[in-house]
Chain A
Amino acid sequence: MHPILKLITQRVALGLMLLFAASILIFGGTMMLPGDVAQQILGQSATPVALENLRAELGLNDPPVTRYFQWLGGFLTGDLGTALTNGRDIAESLGFRLRNTLFLAFWAAVISVPLAIFLGLLAVRYKDRIPDKVISAVTLTTISIPEFMIGYILIYWVSIKAGWFSSVAIINDSMSLGEKLNAIAIPVMVLTLVVLAHMMRMTRAAILNVMQSAYIETAELKGMGMLPIIAKHAFPNAIAPIVNVVMINLAYLVVGVVVVEVVFAYPGMGQYLVDHVAKRDVPVVQACGLIFAAVYIGLNLIADIVSILANPRLRHPK
């Protein structure tokens, strides 16, 4: 087998094991939460018989290991169970929300990743000069301001004063793509500003590190200009660290956007999760937790695989 296939297979297997471990943690963690689900549903005035019946019905009397495997088995076949609070199928309501979250994250990523890398390259090209300092200052400022604050500032200036985009980001399936994009324009801007600095600075650092190499001097002595050197000779060797930080930020765009969703009343996963944590709806929390874990592990797995593929020594062994 090609050594690179072996390495990638190893990574994928490790990722799956990690996900399995995460599912145990999530299940165990929610098990340890105080309170009784049956009591929660029926309220304080429930009779002991009713409680006992409900427990039996929900399978709460089974040993935890059995329940864990039932839960995991359901998850693998697409059955996430029903929400305790409203009795709806979790998979159904979660599917809509997950699509929305991914939609928002996708557009934020489409704008922020190329922009961050471009700004990083620019900062290297004009290292320690005014463009570099301006880029650093601006991105560090935007990362330092809390995201709800940026959200409100943008709503005020872009939406209310300039009247360009909608200030509320409610979307539904009947909207056209253009309408949806109009609705999420400001949240995308906020998210972009939040994740930009981290990716930009990592790109800058990774490329500057490569710029010390002797082969950059070789390129300079070929008479190449700075930007072509950075793009053609430095960037290919800096891909691994850049991809890593990009993936961490993409994961954040999926998992960590609760605040932005609340500010813009966006019907995404984060808001859904927060609502149900407040209501102690354990099956929903477990489902959201496992999906978030899968996103994190999956994206980092991609980063690992890209790093492996970017290494010519692994791609073309002797």
Chain B
Amino acid sequence: MTEPLLKVRGLKIGARIYPPGERPRDIAIVHGVDFDLEAGKVLGLIGESGAGKSTIGLASMAYGRGGVELTGGEVWVNGRDTLKSGMRDVRSLRGGEVTYVSQSAAASFNPAKKIMEQVTEAAILHKKFTKKEAEERAILLFDKLGLPDPENIGQRYPHQVSGGQLQRCMTALALCPEPDLVVFDEPTTALDVTTQIDVLAAIKEAIRDTGVAALYITHDLAVVAQVSDHIMVLQQGAMVEYGTTDQIINNPQEEYTQALVSVRSIKHIEKEPTDTPLLRVEHITARYKGTNFDVLKDVNVELHPGQTLAIVGESGSGKSTLARVITSLLPPSEGTITFDGRVLSPDLATRPLEDLRELQMIYQMADTAMNPRQTVGTIIGRPLEFYFGLKGKAKQKRIQELLDEIELGDGFQDRYPAELSGGQKQRVCIARALAAKPKLIICDEVTSALDPLVADGILKLLLKLQKVEDVSYLFITHDLATVKAIADSIAVMFQGEVVRYGPKSRVLSPPFDDYTDLLLSSVPEMKLGWLEDVLANRKMESAGN
């Protein structure tokens, strides 16, 4: 039997952590993982954040990020154990035999150097190609990856191309030295869905054409199903299940894998609109100071009491700006907002306290939305004091009630945000919003930074709270699966305009306008061959036109 390209045996990875006020201690991140990867095959590594998938990917380059150390086991690449090799050997491996594509190409490109220089650097360094050959190869790869103007795009600086284009440049960077193995670390996670599908297709084609092997790391099972031959499911640094892509998707054996496959299966039955909407946004047009174009153009939507309106769109579509206008952080240039029968003041300074109280917000980054120096009790207690003047025992009692409502229970009052997990932090933010007894909560991408299973938990909690408290949600998201799970009505936004608006059932059923069609068909589905089907469909349509 021939030796596999990458052979990992009993890989153990640890790190030293420095908890505040305690002695530094060593923790284990990966507890003994084994796997093989044959030349030319693609292995998907999947798991939630903290599962150790990026750490394992980087270990195949004998690299530990930050204070991470490879503490035990073997990593064989092309027949030699890289963990026992000297620095010179490891360097010839990195960038020569194994290359890396990171999640954020924007941060991974040096802002001070031209793209071409960075793409060809490794190939020239490892003497795989001369400068001229490497540049020719880079142009070929730019072309293959579908970048515009492949001849000249290399002469630009990273900030001069878009995020999706830069992610493709990063793929070209990884493929340029003709490596044997590429580690893709969440290469499409930071992109909009409509961009993701193109980059994904480009990566898949490049892998197929160059015959390179790949480790494809992601938290999105639907994405990995499109590109990999085998999938390894990881949880907390240990392997849960390993199998062919077909087996993992269609016949998962382990409970955890089954949970991952069936995630986003929340069923929510859409409610009928009532006679009097709670929030009425009429003809809102807005622009930021010092700019000369409208970020919002004549936006009209309604939200009914106890219901959820989802605002869907890609980055830059104006959905967060709409939230800023409703909360009066950005006064609109035209239009009015009616809330609970009264017209809201467009200016924050003149809004009465009652209006402020009845309109609360929850943000995407729970981390930065809380004061790290305040305990959970103080954070939730603040609106209780501010709006209701609660003090002492009464306040304590109410805080505990709220904590029970968000399913956190006892012992959380005295904890600091740093001691909570991502999902728990977001729950505390929900409790803080609820503390004001609002009629409307604006949720701005509240689940985007969370792992799928955790996000599911948050969505279930939000639905439960809606039933109990009869609160309405204005739910801003780019994720259509989330929308399907919780919305009663949907507004699709594109370049500052609402291009489609109505009850969920109507918005999500054909006939579609072009943009909604593009958006909906770009959401990865958990089935094999989805990517090919979509691309083939699109080709047929464009040929038909």
Contacts and interface: CB of A to CB of B under 8 A. Distances in A.
B100 A223 contact: no
Contacts of B65: 217
B92 A218 contact: no
B121 to A, nearest CB: 6
Given A313-B159, A318-B159, A318-B160, A224 B125 contact: yes
A215 B110 contact: yes
Contacts of A318: 159-160
Contacts of B157: 312-313, 316
B63 interface: yes
B102 interface: yes
Nearest to B159: A313
A219 B126 contact: no
A223 B92 contact: yes
B110 A224 contact: no
B111 A312 contact: yes
Given A218-B109, A237-B110, A312-B111, A223 B159 contact: no
A225 B295 CA distance: 47
A236 B112 contact: yes
A221 B102 CA distance: 11
B59 to A, nearest CB: 12
A276 interface: no
Given A223-B125, A233-B110, A237-B110, A218 B160 contact: no
Given A218-B102, A221-B63, A223-B125, A313 B111 contact: yes
A221 B112 contact: no
Contact of A223 (B95, B104, B108, B173): B95
Interface string A207-231: 0000001110111111111000000
A213 B158 CA distance: 15
Contacts of A213: 107
Contacts of A221: 58, 61, 63, 94-95, 99-100
A223 B110 contact: no
Contact of B94 (A223, A236, A316): A223
Contacts of A313: 111, 157, 159
A215 B94 contact: no
Contact of A222 (B104, B112, B113, B122): B122
Nearest to A316: B157
B350 to A, nearest CB: 37
A219 B110 contact: yes
B91 interface: yes
A217 B112 CA distance: 15
Nearest to B93: A223
A273 B90 CA distance: 61
A313 B109 CA distance: 13
Interface string B84-103: 00000011111110011010
Interface residues of B, number: 32
Contacts of A222: 94-95, 99, 121-122, 125
A225 B90 CA distance: 11
Contact of B112 (A220, A224, A225, A312): A312
A234 B104 CA distance: 18
A309 to B, nearest CB: 11
Instruction: Tell me which of A219, A236, A310 has the highest count of chain B C-beta atoms within 10 A of its own C-beta.
Output: A219
Interface residues of A, number: 20
B140 to A, nearest CB: 20
Interface string B71-90: 00000000000000000001
Nearest to A236: B112
A220 B63 contact: yes
Instruction: Tell me which of B63, B65, B93, B112 has the highest count of chain A C-beta atoms within 10 A of its own C-beta.
Output: B112
A278 B102 CA distance: 66
Given A316-B160, A318-B160, A236 B113 contact: yes
Given A220-B94, A313-B159, A215 B100 contact: no
Interface string B448-470: 00000000000000000000000
B113 A224 contact: no
Interface string B422-445: 000000000000000000000000
A318 B162 CA distance: 10
A213 B113 CA distance: 14
Interface in A53-94: none
Contacts of A218: 100, 102, 108-110, 118, 173
A316 B161 CA distance: 12
Nearest to B126: A223
B107 A214 contact: yes
A223 B87 CA distance: 10
A218 B65 CA distance: 11
Contacts of B104: 214
A215 B157 CA distance: 14
Contacts of B121: 219, 222, 224
A215 B63 contact: no
A224 B95 contact: yes
Nearest to B122: A222
Nearest to B91: A223
A225 B91 contact: yes
Contacts of B125: 222-224
Nearest to A221: B100
Contacts of B107: 213-215
A312 B161 CA distance: 13
Contacts of A217: 65, 102, 108
B91 A224 contact: yes
Contacts of B111: 215, 237, 312-313
A213 B92 CA distance: 22
Instruction: Tell me which of A214, A224, A225 has the highest count of chain B C-beta atoms within 10 A of its own C-beta.
Output: A214
Contacts of B61: 221
Contacts of A219: 110, 121
Nearest to B155: A316
9 contacts: A218-B118, A221-B95, A222-B122, A223-B122, A224-B125, A233-B113, A236-B110, A312-B111, A316-B157
Given A215-B109, A215-B110, A220-B94, 20 more contacts: A214-B102, A214-B107, A214-B108, A215-B111, A218-B100, A218-B109, A219-B110, A221-B58, A221-B94, A221-B100, A222-B122, A223-B91, A223-B95, A223-B96, A223-B125, A224-B95, A312-B112, A313-B111, A313-B157, A316-B160
Q: Please give me the 7 A-B residue pairs with the lowest Cβ-Cβ distance, nearest first.
A: A222-B95, A223-B95, A223-B94, A214-B107, A222-B122, A223-B91, A236-B112
